[in-house]
A and B are shown apart, each in its own frame.
Chain A
Amino acid sequence: MIFLPTQSLILAGVLFAIGLATVLVKRNLFFVLMGVELMLNAANLSFVAWSRTFTGSAGLDGQVAPLFSIAVAAAEACVGLAMLLAIFRSKETLDTDRFDRMKE
C-alpha cells in the first residue's frame, strides 16, 4: 500500500503559512526569527513525508536530510540570536520598521 502524505503535507503547509505570516506580520525581530524556524520545520516535515512515499519504510534518504537541516538551523538560530543581541545593543530596539538606514 502506498502511503499518501496528504495529512502530513497539509500540516506542513499550515506550519509554513503560519511561519510566513509570522515573518511578514510581526515587527519584532525575535518573532521574525521564530517564523523562519517554523518555515524550516515545515520543510523538514515535507521531506520526511515524501521520503516515506517514495522509498517506503526501509529508505532513510529523505529522513537524513532533515537531520542536517536541523543541525544547520540550530547553528543559524545561534548566529541569528547573536546578531539580534548585537542589533539590540546598538539600536535599543528590535522593531524591524526602524531599521531603514539603507533607504538612501
Chain B
Amino acid sequence: MTNLLWLLPVLPAAGFAINGLLALAGSRRGEGPDRGIVGFLAVLFPVLSFLLTVALWWNLSEATEMVRGQSELLGVKLQAPAFAQTMGDWIRVGDLSISFGFRFDKLTGIMLLFVTGIGSLIHLYSIGYMANDRGFARYMAYLNLFLANMVVLVLGDGPVVTFLGWEGVGLCSYLLIGFWHHDESNGSAATKAFLVNRVGDLGFLVGVFLLWQIMGPGSSLTYEAISAWFRDPAHLQQLAMPGVATLLTLSTVFLFVGCTGKSAQIPLLTWLPDAMAGPTPVSALIHAATMVTSGVFLLARMADVFVAAPFTLHLIAWVGALTAAWAAVTGLFQHDIKKVLAYSTVSQLGFMFLAAGVGAFDAGLFHVFTHAFFKAVLFLGAGSVIHALSGEQDIRRMGGLVRKLPVTFAAMFAGWYAIVGLPLGAGFWSKDMILERVYVHGGIGLYAIALGSAVVTAVYMTRMMILVFWSPSRVDHEVAHHIHESPPSMQIPLWILGVGALSVGFLWADMIHLDWFSRQLSDVVGAAQASLAGDAPGHGPSPWLLASFGVTAAVVGILVAFGLFRSGYFRENGREPMDYRARWWMLAFDGLHTLVGIWPATVVSWVLDTWIQPLLMGLLRIFAWLVEVAGSTLRLLQRSRLRTNMALSVLGLALLLLFLARELL
C-alpha cells in the first residue's frame, strides 16, 4: 500500500495527458471532443486519487494507533509513523544532494483529503458549468494538471519537491486565469498572477537554500531531516550564535515571502482579486480552497524552523492580521460577486497566517480545512448564480433570487453561516479557535484587529447575501426570463459542500471536547507549538467568553449590514464609478507594486534602452567594421585571374613542401 504514493499525483496527471490529447485531437472539429468521455475521465481520475488517499489515511491511522499503544506500553515517545517513498536521486551538485521522494503523514493526509475530495467535487461541478464552452476538454485537462501539481506540492518529502508542485500550480493558475484568452484583460490578469507569484517563488528558493546553509552543507533537504535538525537540542547553541540567528531570520523571512506570494498576503496580494477573471470553478478550487492555502501548509510543514525564529513569527502574525483587516474592508465596496469572495479569501488567509504567527499552526490548518469547505461552496454558489443570470456578476443587478434559486441559496446560506462565524457553523469553531489562541499568545492588539476584521467580514458577507438573495430584484428583464436552477452535476457538489460547511467544524470543537483534528496534527506540529507555548502566559479567560465575543462580532456585523440596507445605503443601482477614497484604499498595494517594482524596472529599461543599448550596438558595429576591413584586405590575395591564383597555390604548395622537407630531413 505504502509504495503506491506515486500513484496519487500520477492519476490526475494521466487524466491531464488523456484529456490534453483528446483536446488536441478534437481541436480541428468545431465542437471539440465528446463531452461525455472527457467529463467522465476528468472526474474519474481525481476520484480515484481521493479513494487512494482515503485508503492511505486509513492505513496510516491504524499504524499511528499501533505506535501510540507501543509508546504507552514502553513509556517512551516513539516517532510518529509516516509513509515515505523515494524515487531516486534528483539533483546532485557538490555537497548538495536532493532525492525525489514523497512523504505521507497526518498533515499531508489532511491536506490531500480535502484537495482531492473538494477537487473531485469541483471537477464534477465544472462539467455542468463549462458544458457550453468550446474549450471544455482543454479546461478539464488543465484542471487535472492542477490537481496533479497540488498533490506533488503537498506530498513532496522536501521543500525542493514541494517547489516543483509550487511552480506547477502557479503555471496551472496562469493557464486557467487566462483560460478565456480572447479577452485581453484576462490575459493580463493571468500574467500579473504569474509575475507576482514569481517574486514569491524567488523568496521560497532563497529561503530554502539559506536554510541549507544553516544546517550545514551535506545535510539532506527533506522535511524529516529539517525537523529533526531543529528539534535536536544539540543545535540550540549553534542557533543562538548571532550570525546563525540572523541567517535563520533571513531564511524564514524569505520562506515567508514565498508564502505571501502563493497565499496572497501583504505585500504580494494584488493578483488574487484579478485572478477572478478565470472560470468560477477555478476560483473555487485554486483561488479559494487549495492553492492559496499552500502558504499556510508550508508554515505548518516547517513549523520547527519557524518557531526558532521569533522575529519572523511576529512578522507573520502582523502581516496576517493587517491583511485580514485590509481585505475585509476592501470587500465592503466590491460590486462583483466574485471580487467580494476574492477579498474575503484574502482576509480569511490573513486569519490563517495570524494563527500560524502566534504559534497556533494546528488552528491555522483547521481554518484552512473549514475554509476549503465554506469558501468552495460560496464560490460554487456564486458560479451557480452567475450561470443562472447568463453571466451577470454585478451584485447591483441581482436581488430576489431566494425564491428562484432555492438550492443555490441554501448552499450559499450554509457558506455564509459558516464564514461569519455564527454558532455551530464550521467557521465558528475554527475562527474562534484562532481568536482564542491570538488572545492568549498574541496579545490584545492582534486580537482587536482580528475581532474587528471578523465584524467587517460579517458586514460584507451579509451585504452580498442581501444584494443577491434578499433584496428586491434588480435583474434585467431579458435576463430574468432565463433564470434557472443549475443542472444536477452542479447541485450535487453544492449539497455536499454545504453540509460540510455546516458540519466539519465538529472535527475540532474544543468547547465540547471534540478534538479529533488537533490529535491528528499533534505528531507534526505538536512539538513546535509546545516549545513556543513554554514562554507564553498560561491560559487566558474561559473559551466560552471569547467565543461569545466572536459570536457578538458576527451578530453585530450582520445587524450593521441590515441596518445599512434599511437606511438605503446599499441600494446603489447605478453604474457610477467607485468612490475615490475606496479606490485609493483598494489599489494601495497595486500602487506600492508600481512604486517598488514597475517604476524601477521602467527606469532600468529606459537606461538600458537609451544608453547601454547604443553602446553595445556601437561595440558591435566596431567589430563588424573590423571584420569587414580584414575581409577586404585578405581579398586582395584572391586575384580574379585564374593564372595568378594557380601560381599562388603552387607557390604555397612549394613552400609547404620545403617546410616539410626541412622537418623530415
Give residues in A with beta carbon < 8 Å to B. Answer: 20, 23-25, 27, 32, 96-97, 99-100, 102-103
B641 within 8 A of A: yes
Cα–Cα distance between A24 and B645 once the two chains are bound (Å):
9
| Total A-B residue contacts, Cβ distance less than 8 Å | 21
**A102 contact from B640, B643, B647, B650, Cβ within 8 A:** B640
Chain B interface size band reads under 10
Q: Nearest-CB distance from A17 to chain B (Å)?
A: 11
A103–B640 touching, CB < 8 Å: yes
Taking the closest CB of chain B, its distance from the CB of A83, in whole angstroms, is 14
**CB closest chain-B residue, reference A95:** B642
Q: Given A20-B650, A24-B647, A24-B650, decide whether A96 and B640 contact each other with a Cβ distance below 8 A.
A: no
Measured in the bound complex, the distance between the Cα atoms of B641 and A45 in whole Å is: 31
A7 CB to nearest B CB, Å: 22
Complex: A96 Cα to B640 Cα, angstroms: 10
Given contacts A24-B643, A24-B646, A32-B642, 18 further A-B contacts (CB under 8 A): A20-B650, A23-B643, A23-B646, A24-B647, A24-B650, A25-B643, A27-B643, A96-B641, A96-B642, A96-B643, A97-B641, A97-B642, A97-B643, A99-B642, A100-B640, A100-B641, A102-B640, A103-B640
- Residues of B near any A CB (own CB < 8 A): 640-643, 646-647, 650
Sample of 21 A–B contacts (CB below 8 Å):
A20-B650, A23-B643, A23-B646, A24-B643, A24-B646, A24-B647, A24-B650, A25-B643, A27-B643, A32-B642, A96-B641, A96-B642, A96-B643, A97-B641, A97-B642, A97-B643, A99-B642, A100-B640, A100-B641, A102-B640, A103-B640
The residues of B that contact A97 with a CB separation of less than 8 Å are 641-643
A32 CB, nearest partner CB in chain B, Å: 8
Secondary structure dominating the interface of A: helix
Residues of A within 8 A of B643 (CB): 23-25, 27, 96-97
Residues of the A chain whose Cβ atoms lie less than 8 Å from the Cβ of B646 = 23-24
User: Residue of B at shortest CB range from A20?
Assistant: B650
Complex-state Cα separation, A53 to B553, whole angstroms:
118
Report Cα–Cα, A75/B640, bound state, in Å.
28
B650 CB, min distance to chain A CBs, angstroms: 7
Cα distance A20–B238 in the bound complex, in angstroms: 87
Task: Enumerate chain B residues within 8 angstroms of A20, measured Cβ to Cβ.
Answer: 650
Q: How far is the CA of A23 from the CA of B644 in the complex (A)?
A: 10
Q: Which 6 A-B pairs have the closest CB atoms?
A: A103-B640, A100-B640, A96-B642, A24-B647, A24-B643, A97-B641
